[in-house]
Amino acid sequence: MSLRARVQVDAEKAVPESGNNHHIPQPEHRPKMHRHYKTTTQPFIGRLGGNQEFALDESDLLNASKIKAVPDAAPCMSLRDQLDLNGFILPGLWKAAILEGMGSFLLNFLTIYINLSPDILPTAPSPEWGPFANATFIGPLIGGITNWLLITLFTYTFGGLTGAHLNPTITIATFFARLCSLPRMVLYVFSQTAGSALAGLMVRAAYGSRDFKTGGCFLFTDIATVGSAWALEFMCTSALLFLAFGVGLDPRQKKIIGPSLGPFLVGMTVGLISFGTAFSKFGSGGASMNPARCFGAFVGSRFVGWHWIHWVADISAGMVHGLFYFLIPPWEELEGNPANLASGGRMSPEEE
């Protein structure tokens, strides 16, 4: 048999005939290609409630390009990297800032509206029961519980997206603690404040009036002085920062608390402080610890001349806390090659 005839016979055996006796070439069978996905996470050393669990390892060379673009994705960033303005051109950082604004919008609408009351002086404490038998106590009790639960839930929700600051106080404090870059701080604070302002307008629309006050954001200056309000705000914000950083941002607490319990304890801290300080001084709404929330409340109602204390006291508390964080940092620099650092930081005999 000739070579041509043999090839023709083999082709006829390989291709089945159709009903009209025409040879139809069959497509070659190829395995189906499957798409692969992975969850999108934003590594951020200042993620509240994460105890720095989701930071990148700087000793891993695969993370070098990511850390260069986002320096606060790893611990111990230099001052030069922290102040680098290239972060303003990162789309991911803008997206995170927009989500921070959305989270602040929703959270502050709820916390302002739940704590609403008419813009009049509350009932004075009675001689027998003090503030414990009227709305001066009941209102802060409800507000403290709802703050606790809402902040916990919002921290769980936005933790993997933005770091779940939702509060300029936390963002500014992480900046002074060298856990947040300058571009992130600027974008976050602006977005948080804008979202809170929109929340205040929505509260006015939902309430149907601008004659309201809310817990943590009112002060009757003929009874309580501005100086006493500043002192209360500074001390409570300082306590909040030390506790929130301790349970939600300290890497030494990873195994003790971890990212599952951290947001719950941060919410508990805010709830307890906001509740405990709201009924002690008659004529005062207690500590705010969130200047954007009060800014939004005043946008929805009316601005007051003493709103500066919420910003000055909170920023001052963040600076003081940042000083302690600088003096007693949770990290220490180890010398040696990356392989030794990954195995516990011990140096080889040659390096010693």
- pLDDT score of 30 more than 80: no
pLDDT for residue 282: 87
pLDDT at 346 (0 to 100): 39
Is residue 347's pLDDT more than 50? no
Q: Above pLDDT 90, what percent of the chain?
A: 57
Residue-level pLDDT at 64? 81
Token pair 């390892």 is found at 57
Q: What is the pLDDT of residue 3?
A: 45
- Structure confidence at residue 16 (pLDDT): 52
Q: What gap in Å lies between CA 339 and CA 52, rounded to an integer?
A: 21
Burial class from Cβ neighbours inside 10 Å (0-12, 13-18, 19+) for residue 61 reads exposed
Average pLDDT over residues 251-264: 85
CA distance readout (Å), 10 to 15, 19, 20, 23, 25: 9, 20, 20, 13, 14
HSE of 255 in the Cβ direction (CA atoms, 13 Å)?
1
Q: Higher pLDDT residue, 237 or 36?
A: 237
User: How far apart, in whole angstroms, are the C-alpha atoms of residue 287 and residue 233?
Assistant: 5
**What SS3 state is found at 213?**
strand
Quick: pLDDT tens for 120-131.
Answer: 888 777 776 777
Environment class of residue 235 by beta-carbon count within 10 Å: exposed (0-12), middle (13-18) or buried (19+)? middle
Q: What is the crossing angle of helices 168-176 and 308-327, to 10°?
A: 30
Strand partners, 130: 126
pLDDT of residue 252: 85
The pLDDT of 66-70, averaged and rounded, is: 85
**C-beta atoms surrounding 14 within 10 Å:** 10
Least confident of 19-23, 89-93, 267-271, 332-336: 19-23
Tell me the pLDDT of the chain averaged across its residues. 85
Q: Which residues contact 50 (CB under 8 A, 6 or more apart)?
A: 44, 159, 163, 248, 249, 259, 262
Least trusted range by pLDDT, from 28-32, 184-188, 259-263: 28-32
Interatomic CA distance for residues 156 and 163, integer angstroms: 9
**For 128-225, where are the alpha helices, taking DSSP H only?**
135-162, 168-176, 182-207
Closest CA to 234 of 262, 196, 273, 282: 273
Look at residue 28 and tell me whether its pLDDT is greater than 70.
no
pLDDT at 73 over 80: yes
Cα(87)–Cα(168) distance, integer angstroms: 18
What are the tokens at 163?
């770091």
Better-scored residue on pLDDT, 129 or 312: 312
- Give per-residue pLDDT as tens, 35-63: 777 777 778 888 887 777 777 877 777 77
- 235, two tokens: 């001390």
Tokens of 227: 């100086």
Q: Spell out the domains of the chain, with CATH numbers in brackets.
A: 82-327 (1.20.1080.10)
Q: 275-311 pLDDT, tens per residue?
A: 999 988 888 999 999 999 999 999 999 999 999 999 9
What letter represents residue 282's amino acid? F
**Most confident stretch, 38-52, 113-127, 149-163, 241-255:** 149-163
CA distance 275 to 140: 5
CA-based diameter of the chain, in Å? 120
